[in-house]
Amino acid sequence: MPTQTSRTSHHLPRFEDAEPLGPQDAEFARDIKAVLEKHGNLDRFGLVLLHDHFSVDSDEVLVETNDPQARTLHVEVEKKAETKHARPSQWRFAADSGETPTAQSDSTPYEVLMLCLTLACEDR
């Protein structure tokens, strides 16, 4: 996932260094599952390992497209102001640092990491 280079408090570890979910996280996972169940979101949200492969500037966003026939996913960086892809598919919680969240409103405790759209085969 992206490192927002203009927000030093949000640096993420490289994938190779990120610690995956393990047995030591069982209680945490049960707690998250209970909250998702309580709000009817168990089949809507899950967990991802936040990590970085390369930097993504604060005016950029990762965009995921897919080709259902080829069964492939493609991720590219696009400028937020220029992207035509508008359906968020991944978020992360914003740090409580007094910064204004970059999500849909100032009151949301999360920010969009990735947008998603189906890529038609003829568009490739």
pTM of the predicted protein model: 0.67
15, amino acid identity: F
Nearest by Cα to 61 from 109, 114, 111, 13: 114
Is pLDDT of 7 > 80?
no
HSE (side-chain half, CA atoms, 13 Å) at 122? 0
For residue range 16-55, list pLDDT tens digits in order: 999 999 999 999 999 999 999 999 999 999 999 988 889 8
- Map out the domains of the chain as residue ranges: 22-50, 52-96+108-123
For residue range 35-46, list pLDDT tens digits in order: 999 999 999 999
The beta strand positions in the chain, using DSSP E, are 3-4, 55-56, 60-67, 72-79, 87-93, 110-118
- For residues 94 and 100, is the Cβ–Cβ distance under 8 A? no
Burial of 2 (0-12, 13-18, 19+ CB in 10 A): buried
d(CA 61, CA 11): 15
Nearest by Cα to 76 from 68, 66, 101: 66
119: confidence class by pLDDT, cuts 50, 70, 90 = low
For residue range 59-109, list pLDDT tens digits in order: 999 999 888 899 999 999 999 999 887 788 888 887 765 544 444 445 778
